[in-house]
C-alpha cells in the first residue's frame, strides 16, 4: 500500500450477462495521493468487467513492475494483466511477454485518442493485447460515484455497461479499439 494512501471500501454487485457471472465483491482500494477519482473508479470498472475470485489490485500508481489489476493462476503464471490510462509501448511489450492476456482501459479528454493514434502502429503486433477507450464524460460521471464507503451495482450485457450507486445511474457502451 502506498504511503499516505486513502483507503476506500466498495461493495460491488456484478451482473455480467455476457459471462454469466453474478457475484458481490467487498473491495478494499488504496488511493495514492496522486491518484484521481477518475482513475480509482476506472480501476473499479475494470474489476467489474473482469471479475473473478483470483483478480486482484496491484500495489498502485508507484509500482512500475505491477499492473493496476492482475489475475494469476494456481501456478503463479499471469493470466490477465490490466493497465489503466495511457501506458507506453515498453510497458505493454513487457506485459505482453509476461501475461496470457493484456488489457488497457484508456481515458483522458483528448489525450487518449492521441495516445492511441501514436501507439497503434507499435501495439498492433501484440496478439494478446486488447485496448478499450472510455470516453471522458463517462469517466467523469463514474468519478462522481467515488467515496470512502461505496455501494455500486454494475450490469454488463453485449458490451453495454450500466452502473448505479443508488442516486446516479450511468449507461454507456464500451469502445473497443483493439480486440
At residue 145, what are phi and psi to the nearest 5 degrees?
Answer: -85, -10
Give the per-residue pLDDT at 65. Answer: 75
Give the per-residue pLDDT at 110. Answer: 74
Mean of pLDDT over the chain: 93
pLDDT grade, residue 1 (50/70/90)? very low
| Beta strands at 129-133 and 99-106: parallel, antiparallel or unpaired | parallel
Q: Which residue has the higher pLDDT, 108 or 89?
A: 89
Q: Where are the domains of the chain?
A: 6-178
Are residues 96 and 102 in contact, defined by beta-carbon separation less than 8 angstroms? Answer: yes
Q: Calculate what percentage of the chain has a pLDDT beyond 70.
A: 96
DSSP secondary structure, 35-77, as one string: --HHHHHHHHHHHHHH--TTEEE-S-TT-TTS-SEEEE-TTS-
Residue owning grid cell 467515496: 147
- pLDDT tens per residue across span 32-42: 888 999 999 99
Q: Is the pLDDT of residue 146 over 80?
A: yes
Who contacts 76 (Cβ-Cβ below 8 Å, separation ≥6)? none
Give the per-residue pLDDT at 63. Answer: 61
Output the pTM of the full model: 0.93
Its CATH architecture, for the domain 6-178, is Roll (3.10)
- pLDDT tens per residue across span 7-43: 999 999 999 999 999 999 999 998 988 899 999 999 9
Amino acid at each position: 500500500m502506498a504511503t499516505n494512501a486513502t483507503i476506500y471500501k466498495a461493495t460491488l454487485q456484478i451482473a455480467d450477462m455476457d459471462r454469466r457471472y453474478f457475484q458481490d465483491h467487498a473491495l478494499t482500494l488504496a488511493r495514492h495521493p496522486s491518484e484521481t477519482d477518475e482513475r480509482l473508479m476506472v480501476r473499479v470498472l475494470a474489476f467489474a468487467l473482469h471479475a473473478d475470485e483470483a483478480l486482484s489490485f496491484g500495489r498502485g500508481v508507484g509500482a512500475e513492475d505491477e499492473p493496476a489489476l492482475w489475475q494469476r493462476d494456481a501456478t503463479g503464471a499471469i493470466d490477465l494483466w490490466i493497465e489503466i490510462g495511457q501506458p507506453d509501448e515498453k510497458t505493454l511489450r513487457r506485459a505482453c511477454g509476461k501475461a496470457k492476456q493484456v488489457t488497457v482501459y484508456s481515458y483522458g479528454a483528448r489525450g487518449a485518442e492521441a495516445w492511441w493514434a501514436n501507439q497503434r502502429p507499435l501495439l498492433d503486433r501484440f496478439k494478446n493485447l486488447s485496448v478499450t477507450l472510455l470516453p471522458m464524460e463517462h469517466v467523469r460521471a463514474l468519478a462522481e460515484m467515488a467515496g470512502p464507503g461505496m455501494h455500486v451495482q454494475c450490469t454488463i450485457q453485449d458490451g453495454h455497461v450500466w452502473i448505479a450507486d443508488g442516486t446516479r445511474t450511468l449507461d454507456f457502451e464500451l469502445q473497443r479499439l483493439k480486440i
